[in-house]
Amino acid sequence: MTMVPKNLFTVKTTLCSVKQSSKYASSAIRKHSVWTQDKVIKSPYKSIEIPKYTLYDYVWQNLDKWPERTVSVCAVTGRGYTYEKAFKLSNTFAANLRRKFKVRDGDTVAVMLPNIPDYHVVSLGILEAGGVITTLNPIYTAHEVQRQLLLSDAKIIVTLPETVPTIRESLKMAKLNIPIIVVKTNGEPIPEGTALFNELSEDVHVDKSCLKEVRRGPNDICFLPYSSGTTGLPKGVELSHRNIIANCEQINEPLVRMHNDTTPSHQDVIIGVLPLYHIYAASVLMFHKMSMGAKLVTLTKFTPESYLKTIEKHRTNIVMVAPPIILLMANHPAATAKTFDPIDSICNGAAPLAASDVERLMKKAGRQLDFRQGYGLTETSPVVTISPKGLNRYEATGPPLASTEMRIVDENLKNLGPNERGEILVRGPQVMKGYRDNPQANSEVFTEDGWFRTGDLAVADNDGVVTIADRLKELIKVKGFQVPPAELESLLRDHPAVTDAAVIGVPHQTKGETPKAFVVLRNGQKCTEKELSAFVNEKVAAYKHVEDITFVESVPKSPSGKILRRVLKDQYC
């Protein structure tokens, strides 16, 4: 890993020397407290300078340092691109978007692709053409697709040949007639009436002078993902070039960075298992790692065996995942110490992970890995905090990133102090411009003085180190007491017979609500509802007791790893 400058924070010791404590750079924090008198948490890191680039220019700014390095490669077929090739193809694709499809500055282009090496080329081409990227889950139904196409006002959609029937059905539903561009990844013929991305990106005759007409600046929107919708219908999140570049610079901070410099003798290898249509992977795995010259190994279809084999085969040294994959790595019989051999660092994001789950991961690895936990949202580009190097409190996510402020507030938005639990409010350059065409939603999440309400509950200690408690709207209220599902889920997973668990609140005649658990047992393990209840209930206060347990084959989760509690409620309640 990269060495940490010893003069950072003007102290003599670094985070790497800290063990089992949040007292990183403690002398600096005493000198420069992260808590203000008004109970606002300031970042302990040096403020960033945000380059006045577009995201396209930012990603390619160091192209001359690693033109022959691989930018992306398919884990199964080995098909991929060098940085130089990807740059040329994206450049040509951009010119054709302007010439043949009349894309103009600010036009939205929809991308509905799985994780394939071409994702980088498609995305950067859209940006260079002056367009805005909106991403869709490739397993969306026609109903889901048509809604996003209408909301985003997409002018074109890029997809795979096999998805075209769904696209066409969605266009019929939406009464739209927009071009469909398909990415050909095998020898199958392309659907009639579609354009071929491979030809558009390899067109040696296209006149590229049209790209000089593009006028896009740092404050213009470049990325329009749609929020997960776990608390309502998906909303278009307007992220500017500056938002995403700022976040890239923030995670370059020496104490939190999880990448190494690309040199003649080294290139980081990152496994692309997180969906690139999600902000976590798009920003942190694709845009940021491209700017650093890393290689992304893409997995189009996930299976536990293919994922674990890819880590070994491609010598993946950085793993960025969500809780379900951490649990898989800690519990799957095919995961051995050999699997973990090439790994230097693992980062969990998208949803909280209990320390006990991380300890099981370390036990499976047979050694101490550099494990981090991050916190963020689609609306924050996405990273707000990452646990810094040497902070071995696995459940913690660290203090706010550079140039980021945070508040922990009560239900009246009154600031709380250290070790008090409340909702997180954030202010920083990575916070979105707002939800597209949704003033009501914007008024609900932004305070009058510009703070973004995350809807997440957390506790911050004296050093500003944050531990996520739960989603505000997912709290279970038992006789007026607040019960966080994540706490009970962590305890359930601690049982040796349990591999996964989810908890929701269900109506109760006398309590108002009561916790209901859904549990997945390990293969070959047996356990009764009574045994599990006793195991959990002896560890928590009476109002948190779990008496209602249903055994299920799997816990429904979003592609980013969040438990879909509403799905459980719909199916079982």
* Range from 42-51, 465-474, 541-550 carrying the lowest mean pLDDT: 465-474
> Alpha-carbon Rg of the chain, whole angstroms?
24
| Sheet with 318-321, edge to edge strand ranges | 80-82, 70-74, 295-298, 269-272, 318-321, 345-348, 370-376, 383-386
**What is the CATH number for 114?**
3.40.50.12780
CB-based contact 300:74 (threshold 8 Å): yes
* Total number of residues shown for the chain: 573
| Domain contains 99 | yes
How high is the pLDDT of residue 232?
57
- Number of Cα atoms under 13 Å in the Cβ half of residue 533: 13
Q: Which two tokens stand for residue 41?
A: 């948490």
User: What is the band of 110 on the pLDDT scale with cuts at 50, 70, 90?
Assistant: very high
Q: What share of the chain in percent tops pLDDT 90?
A: 79
| Domain contains 419 | no
How high is the pLDDT of residue 188?
82
- Type of residue at 167: I
Q: Which residues contact residue 73 at a Cβ distance below 8 angstroms, ignoring those fewer than 6 apart?
A: 79, 80, 81, 117, 295, 296, 297, 298, 314
How high is the pLDDT of residue 26?
40
How high is the pLDDT of residue 13?
27
Q: Which two tokens stand for residue 522?
A: 């390990």
Last-in-domain residue among 203, 219, 240: 240
User: What is the band of 107 on the pLDDT scale with cuts at 50, 70, 90?
Assistant: very high
User: What is the band of 229 on the pLDDT scale with cuts at 50, 70, 90?
Assistant: very low
| Domain contains 339 | no
Dihedral sign, CA of 79, 84, 87, 93?
negative
Buried b (16+ CB within 10 A) or exposed e, 113-135: bbbbbbbbbbbbbbbbbbbbbbb
Q: Which residues contact residue 450 at a Cβ distance below 8 angstroms, ignoring those fewer than 6 apart?
A: 427
Dihedral sign, CA of 504, 332, 280, 402?
positive
Interstrand relation of 154-159 and 180-182 (parallel, antiparallel or unpaired): parallel
| Domain contains 88 | yes
CB-based contact 394:360 (threshold 8 Å): no
* Complete DSSP assignment for 398-423: BSBPTT-EEEEE-TT-PBP-TT--EE
Residue 66 sits at φ, ψ, to 5 deg, of: -145, 50
Tell me how far apart the alpha carbons of residues 532 and 518 are, in angstroms, rounded to a whole number.
11
Buried b (16+ CB within 10 A) or exposed e, 520-552: bbeeeeebeeeebbebbbeeeeebbbbebbeeb
Residue 535 confidence (pLDDT) above 50: yes
Residue 15 confidence (pLDDT) above 60: no
| Domain contains 265 | no
CB-based contact 110:134 (threshold 8 Å): yes
Q: Which residues contact residue 62 at a Cβ distance below 8 angstroms, ignoring those fewer than 6 apart?
A: 291, 293
Kindly report the number of other CB atoms within 10 A of residue 306's CB atom.
15
How high is the pLDDT of residue 7?
30
Residue 25 confidence (pLDDT) above 90: no
Q: Which two tokens stand for residue 81?
A: 């691109």
**Mean pLDDT estimate for the chain:** 91
Question: Averaged over 333-354, what is the pLDDT?
Answer: 91
Q: What share of the chain in percent tops pLDDT 70?
A: 93
pLDDT tens per residue across span 459-496 = 999 999 999 987 777 888 888 787 889 889 989 999 99
CB-based contact 363:7 (threshold 8 Å): no
Token pair 């140039």 is at which residue? 403
Dihedral sign, CA of 239, 242, 248, 251?
negative
Domain count, the chain: 2
For 220, the domain range is 55-240
Residue 187 confidence (pLDDT) above 50: yes
* Cα three-residue angle 162-163-169, rounded to 5 degrees: 125
Q: Which residues contact residue 19 at a Cβ distance below 8 angstroms, ignoring those fewer than 6 apart?
A: 390, 392
User: What is the band of 314 on the pLDDT scale with cuts at 50, 70, 90?
Assistant: very high
How high is the pLDDT of residue 20?
36
- Type of residue at 75: A
Question: Averaged over 66-89, what is the pLDDT?
Answer: 97
pLDDT tens per residue across span 133-171 = 999 989 888 988 999 999 999 999 999 999 999 999 999
Residue 9 confidence (pLDDT) above 90: no
CB-based contact 424:459 (threshold 8 Å): no
How high is the pLDDT of residue 228?
56
How high is the pLDDT of residue 86?
98
User: Which pTM does this prediction carry?
Assistant: 0.87
CB-based contact 460:427 (threshold 8 Å): no
Tell me how far apart the alpha carbons of residues 176 and 174 are, in angstroms, rounded to a whole number.
5
**What is the CATH number for 507?**
3.30.300.30
| Domain contains 346 | no
Last-in-domain residue among 196, 221, 240: 240
pLDDT tens per residue across span 242-268 = 999 999 999 999 999 999 999 999 999
Highest-confidence segment of 4-13, 229-238, 351-360:
351-360
Residue 22 confidence (pLDDT) above 70: no
pLDDT tens per residue across span 366-382 = 999 999 999 999 999 99
| Domain contains 478 | yes
How high is the pLDDT of residue 3?
33
CB-based contact 89:202 (threshold 8 Å): yes
How high is the pLDDT of residue 33?
76
Last-in-domain residue among 240, 273, 288: 240
Q: Which two tokens stand for residue 356?
A: 């006990």
Tell me how far apart the alpha carbons of residues 414 and 143 are, in angstroms, rounded to a whole number.
41
Residue 499 confidence (pLDDT) above 70: yes
How high is the pLDDT of residue 30?
38
pLDDT tens per residue across span 384-431 = 999 999 998 999 999 999 999 999 999 999 999 999 999 999 999 999
| Domain contains 162 | yes
Q: What is the dihedral of CA 193, 199, 203, 208, to 10 degrees?
A: 60
Question: Averaged over 528-552, what is the pLDDT?
Answer: 94
Question: Averaged over 88-98, what is the pLDDT?
Answer: 98
